[in-house]
Chain A
C-alpha cells in the first residue's frame, strides 16, 4: 500500500505571497491532519479533516486554512506569507479505526 504523499517537496516563496500544499493520504484513510515543524516550536498541530469536514484546529492564525476533497485528498493554504512561516509542513493520515497517524515526507517551505 502506498504511503502518504505530499507535493511539492520543496517550495520557495516571498513575503506576501500565498501557497497551496497538497496531501494524498493512504488509500482508505479518511482522516488527514496537518502539522508544522520549526526548530523553535517543534511539531505543532494545524488542523484535522475527516470526511471533508474540519474537526479540530490548532492555535494558528486564520491565514492558515485547509480543505479536504471527497477522495480524502487534502490541501493546505497559507495566505500573506510571513518569514516565520518557513517550516516543514507535514501531513498525516489515519484510518477511522485506529489512533495511529502515518506521516508523509513533508513540504519544505522557505519564505524569503
Chain B
C-alpha cells in the first residue's frame, strides 16, 4: 500500500499562473516533509521542506503548506515559469532513529509559455 500518494500524474499550467501540486500521506508518525524537482536522467533537486510543527514555509516563488489533520501537503509555485517544467516528488520522513524518505510517484508539471 502506498504511504505517500500524488494523485495527479500530470499538470499543465499557463506561464505566470499558480501551480498547485498535492500530496497525501497515511502515517501520522511522519514529521518532516520535502519537495524535490527532477529532470530526466538526473538526481532529485531539493526545493523546500517543512517540519510538522509548522503549517507553511515559503522560499521565493515556492510555498509548502502542511495540513496535519488531513495528512495533506501541497506545493504552490507562483508565478509559474517554463523552467519549472519537471517532475515533482513529495517525500516524507520520520526522524525517529533513521532518515528514510518515502516518496510519492511524482507529478509531471508542464508550464506552457
Give Cα A43 to B97, complex, Å.
Answer: 21
Partner pick for A42 among B34, B49, B98, B104, CB 8 A cutoff: B104
Inter-subunit contact B99/A101 (CB<8 Å): yes
B41 (CB) vs chain A CBs: closest residue: A108
> How would residues 58 to 90 of chain B score, 1 for a CB under 8 Å from any chain A CB and 0 otherwise?
000000000000000000000000000000010
Inter-subunit contact B99/A99 (CB<8 Å): yes
Residues of A within 8 A of B101 (CB): 33, 35, 43, 45, 92, 101
Residues of B within 8 A of A (CB): 32, 34, 36, 41-46, 49, 51, 89, 91, 93, 95, 97-106
Inter-subunit contact B105/A42 (CB<8 Å): yes
B31 (CB) vs chain A CBs: closest residue: A99
Give Cα A22 to B49, complex, Å.
Answer: 27
Partner pick for A100 among B34, B103, B105, CB 8 A cutoff: B34
Partner pick for A99 among B44, B45, B49, B105, CB 8 A cutoff: B49
A99 (CB) vs chain B CBs: closest residue: B32
Residues of B within 8 A of A33 (CB): 99-101
Inter-subunit contact A106/B98 (CB<8 Å): no
Q: In the complex, how many angstroms separate the beta carbon of A10 from the nearest chain B beta carbon? A: 9
Residues of A within 8 A of B (CB): 4, 6, 31, 33, 35, 42-45, 48, 55-56, 58, 88, 90, 92, 94, 99-106, 108
A33-B99, A100-B34 known; A90 vs B105 contact (CB < 8 Å): no
Residues of B within 8 A of A58 (CB): 100
Give Cα A95 to B87, complex, Å.
Answer: 25
Provide a sorted-by-A list of 22 A–B residue pairs whose CB atoms are within 8 angstroms: A6-B43, A33-B99, A33-B100, A35-B103, A42-B103, A42-B105, A43-B44, A43-B91, A43-B103, A44-B103, A45-B102, A48-B99, A56-B97, A56-B98, A58-B100, A90-B44, A92-B101, A94-B99, A99-B34, A99-B93, A100-B34, A103-B45
- Given A4-B43, A42-B105, list of 19 further CB < 8 A pairs? A6-B43, A33-B101, A42-B103, A42-B106, A43-B89, A45-B101, A55-B97, A56-B98, A90-B43, A90-B44, A92-B43, A94-B99, A99-B95, A99-B99, A100-B34, A100-B49, A101-B99, A103-B43, A105-B43
